[in-house]
Amino acid sequence: AQKVTQAQTEISVVEKEDVTLDCVYETRDTTYYLFWYKQPPSGELVFLIRRNSFDEQNEISGRYSWNFQKSTSSFNFTITASQVVDSAVYFCALSEAKGFQKLVFGTGTRLLVSP
C-alpha cells in the first residue's frame, strides 16, 4: 500500500526566513510520481510540481526547490526567503506511474509566515 507522511503539522516562520517541508513516502511500485500541492485559505489545491521516480535531480523554480532522495524515500520542499503569501497548507502526494492515477495525500503541513 502507498503511504505519505508529513510529520510537521504546522510551521511558523518570519518573512524572509527559509523553510523546509518534509515528506516521506512508502510504496512498493518501482515507478511512481511524487507531487506537491498548495492549498491556500480559499480551498483549492494548486499544483506545484510532479516528479517521476526515475528523475532524482533536484529542481528549483524561483524561490521554490525540491530535494528528491530515493534512498531515504523523501521528497522535501524548501521555500527560500518566505513571504506572507506563502501561508497555506502544503500537501505531498504519491501516485502510481502507470494506469489510472490515484493520488495518495499526506495530512499536510500548515505554513504560517508572519510579517
Partner 1 sequence: EAEVAQSPRYKITEKSQAVAFWCDPISGHATLYWYRQILGQGPELLVQFQDESVVDDSQLPKDRFSAERLKGVDSTLKIQPAELGDSAMYLCASSRGAEETQYFGPGTRLLVL
- Does 88 help bind partner 1 (rule: CB under 8 A)? no
Instruction: Pick the closer one to partner 1 by CB: 17 or 64.
Output: 64
The size of the interface with partner 1 (CB under 8 A), counted in residues, is 23
**Closest distance to partner 1 from the beta carbon of 67 (Å):** 20
Q: Where are the extended beta strands (E) located within the chain?
A: 3-5, 10-14, 19-21, 24-26, 32-39, 46-52, 59-61, 64-69, 74-79, 88-96, 104-105, 109-114
- Does 24 help bind partner 1 (rule: CB under 8 A)? no
**Closest distance to partner 1 from the beta carbon of 19 (Å):** 20
The cell for 34 is 511524487
How far apart are the C-alpha atoms of 94 and 25, rounded to whole Å? 8
How far apart are the C-alpha atoms of 56 and 20, rounded to whole Å? 18
Q: Which of residues 44-63 bind partner 1 (CB under 8 A)?
A: 44-47, 50
- Does 106 help bind partner 1 (rule: CB under 8 A)? yes
**Closest distance to partner 1 from the beta carbon of 84 (Å):** 21
Say which residues have a Cβ less than 8 Å from residue 89's Cβ, sequence separation at least 6: 38, 39, 108, 109, 110, 111
- Does 41 help bind partner 1 (rule: CB under 8 A)? no
Instruction: Report the interface residues with partner 1, using CB under 8 A.
Output: 4, 35, 37, 42-47, 50, 91, 93, 97-103, 105-108
